[in-house]
Amino acid sequence: MSFHRIFVEHRNCEFAKSSIPFLGHVIEHNQLPMDPSKLKAVRDWKPPTSMKDVQAFLGLANYYHKFTRHFAAITFPLSDLLRKNEGLNWDNDQQIAFDAIKCALTSSSTLALLNPSLSYVIWTDASQVGTGAILCQDQGHGLQPYAVESRKLETAECNYAIHDREALAIVHAIKKWHCYAHMQPVTVLTDHCTLQYLKTQPQSRPDGWST
């Protein structure tokens, strides 16, 4: 810090702490949980009564999207509501999505901190509207999530066969976290046996994604 001439105010510093809140998170030894006050805000959030409420809720949820697998798919009914810009049309689909987002954020609120000396595991999956992936690592206590990624499928991608959507999930995850493949071995796990179908095809859509 002195080399870069960065100075801190002593009265604003804390030393010998086992955890410290920082930007909506709590930095702890080997893990990064959400700030409990933010978890309470999510749990206590009432169903939106205006489009502004929807935007505010999605804004908070999106800040913590890295904690939730399939975030894009779960939030689709609400993000689609904003995209259409037709006013608040809150029905059962939106309420289910709202409750699912709250449940997902409050039940999966801790990420592990990366150990760069260990190998990685990427777990991928796809749905009709999105893809999801988890970057995991086993530091002696089983696989723990280090990062979570998801994306909403484009309109054309929603029409892909299931094996192509599953392959797309793998490709997107590897592109997102390609830097880790240069550090340590990476194992990709998927739960969809239809990917075996691609081995029998001389040419397939994923061939063009490898570049």
pLDDT digits (tens, 9 = 90+) for 53-107: 999 999 999 898 888 878 888 898 998 888 877 778 898 999 999 999 999 888 8
Q: How many CB atoms lie within 10 A of CB 78?
A: 21
- Residue 92, judged by CB atoms within 10 A of its CB (0-12, 13-18, 19+), counts as exposed
pLDDT value at residue 5 = 85
- Domains recognised in the chain with CATH numbers: 18-107 (3.30.70), 114-209 (3.10.20.370)
pLDDT value at residue 206 = 56
Share of the chain above pLDDT 70, in %: 90
Give the pairing type, strands 19-22 and 143-152.
unpaired
Place of tokens 């935007």: 55
> What's the pLDDT tens digit per position in 97-151?
999 999 988 887 688 888 888 999 998 988 888 888 999 898 888 888 888 888 8
Q: How many CB atoms lie within 10 A of CB 101?
A: 25
How far is it, in rounded angstroms, from Cα 210 to Cα 31?
A: 33
pTM of the model: 0.68
How far is it, in rounded angstroms, from Cα 54 to Cα 46?
A: 10
pLDDT value at residue 2 = 81
pLDDT reading at 195 higher than 80: no
